[in-house]
Amino acid sequence: MTFLAKPKLHHPELHKNSLGYTRRDYEGAISTLCAGCGHDSISAAIVRACFELELPPHRIAKLSGIGCSSKTPTYFLGASHGFNSVHGRMPSVLTGANLANKDLIYLGVSGDGDSASIGLGQFAHAMRRGVNMVYIVENNGVYGLTKGQFSATSDKGAKSKRGVVNSDEAIDLVGMALQLGATFVARSFSGDKAQLVPLIEAALKHEGAAFIDCLSPCVAFNNHEGSTKSFDYVREHNAAMNYLDVITGREEITVDYAPGSVEMVTQHDGSTLRLRKLHTDYDLHDRVSALTYMQERHAVGEIVTGLLYVDPNPRDLHGHLKTSDTPLNALQEDALVPGSSALAKINAGLR
């Protein structure tokens, strides 16, 4: 249905951000996903986050792999370049794109099949390299486009729509991201916009590897009784740790919450995250205790959501590689080609 162009007519009084863009300017083509798909809510959250952060849409590059989730970049940020790469390999393509131009924002969208099954290796290595990106897994625990097979994030004991019980242990991408050195790790739920939108904003402002595992129920194949990724199940078991407000400098920062219930985190780019904490004893700067906490809550059947770990001053891949300040794709002959006299010297050394 994507050949139906979305009308470009805007309501004349639609609110504009400081760049002169309305929220509609951050939208893409009409979604071809099933009505009620969690993924569409995530697309809407991305649109809202980019609009509210006042990001120039063309300075964002959106990349994906293959699957329902990977189709979504068509449905947001229509003025951005997008890349539907091959199944499970978005992380390497994104890494390469990021190496070429450090000045763009890289948004990787993937699914649980794309990242936890076929692409687990690339997911892991992109995290451990510290690629400056926002990596969102739209996690529904099921293969949608191929009609309902389990994915690697399906919980052990979960029941498929056809009644098959999954006997394999689930892969926890949040736990892996924490272990592998991601510097921003969050989990959220497509049905909780109040939590998700600021998380995406905070991740976009984060200058390192930011990972968001977003539970996103599949209405067609994984929204039934016995599923642990259905809307009902996730709502019932969602244990939200915190809610965020992202403050980019224009707003005045005021704190009027009870002591211990709010934490301010200033990220390297100057943005401030105001965390409204629902569990005041949780330390989101401690990787080890975050991991332990996740596992403890998981054991009692809770799905912990919120910002789970953040390093406000991360070092990214370009920092490790000491690349030039000018993006590599903007370097010209003078910076790249050593010329004939250098070559003459090399020749002389080879005789």
Distance from C-alpha of 72 to C-alpha of 107, rounded to nearest angstrom = 12
Question: Are 185 and 174 spatial neighbours (Cβ–Cβ below 8 Å)?
Answer: yes
**Residue in 301, 277, 297 with CA at minimum distance from that of residue 289:** 297
Interface residue with another protein among 104, 137, 182, 185 (CB under 8 A) is: 104
Site stretch for another protein (CB under 8 A), options 133-141, 187-195, 295-303, 313-321: 313-321
Interface residue with another protein among 44, 49, 61, 109 (CB under 8 A) is: 61
Q: How far is the CB of 55 from another protein (least distance, A)?
A: 11
Interface residue with another protein among 125, 279, 297, 298 (CB under 8 A) is: 125
Interface residue with another protein among 31, 41, 43, 80 (CB under 8 A) is: 80
Q: Does 95 bind another protein (CB under 8 A)?
A: yes
Interface residue with another protein among 36, 56, 157, 270 (CB under 8 A) is: 56
Residues 126-165: x/- map of binding to another protein (CB under 8 A)? ---x------------------------------------
Q: Does 58 bind another protein (CB under 8 A)?
A: yes
Q: Which amino acid is at 336?
A: L
Q: Does 103 bind another protein (CB under 8 A)?
A: yes
CA angle 311/312/315 to nearest 5° reads: 75
Q: Does 4 bind another protein (CB under 8 A)?
A: no
Q: Does 18 bind another protein (CB under 8 A)?
A: no
Site stretch for another protein (CB under 8 A), options 159-167, 175-183, 219-227, 324-332: 324-332
Cα distances (Å, whole numbers) of residue 110 to 63, 86, 87? 8, 11, 9
Task: Name the residue nearer to another protein (CB basis): 167 or 332.
Answer: 332
The dihedrals phi and psi of 244, each to the nearest 5 degrees, come to: -115, 150
Q: Would you give the distance in Å from CA 53 to the centre of its chain?
A: 16
Interface residue with another protein among 30, 34, 99, 262 (CB under 8 A) is: 99
Q: Does 115 bind another protein (CB under 8 A)?
A: no
Q: Which residues, in sequence order, are CB contacts of 172 under 8 Å at separation 6+?
A: 153, 294, 298
Q: Does 79 bind another protein (CB under 8 A)?
A: yes
Q: Does 273 bind another protein (CB under 8 A)?
A: no
Q: Does 255 bind another protein (CB under 8 A)?
A: no
The helix or strand, by DSSP H or E, that contains position 135, with its residue range, turns out to be strand 133-139
Cα distances (Å, whole numbers) of residue 277 to 193, 242, 264? 17, 4, 11
Residue with tokens 């400098």: 249
Other CB atoms within a 10 A radius of the CB of residue 71 amount to 21
Question: Are 9 and 186 spatial neighbours (Cβ–Cβ below 8 Å)?
Answer: no
Q: Does 14 bind another protein (CB under 8 A)?
A: no
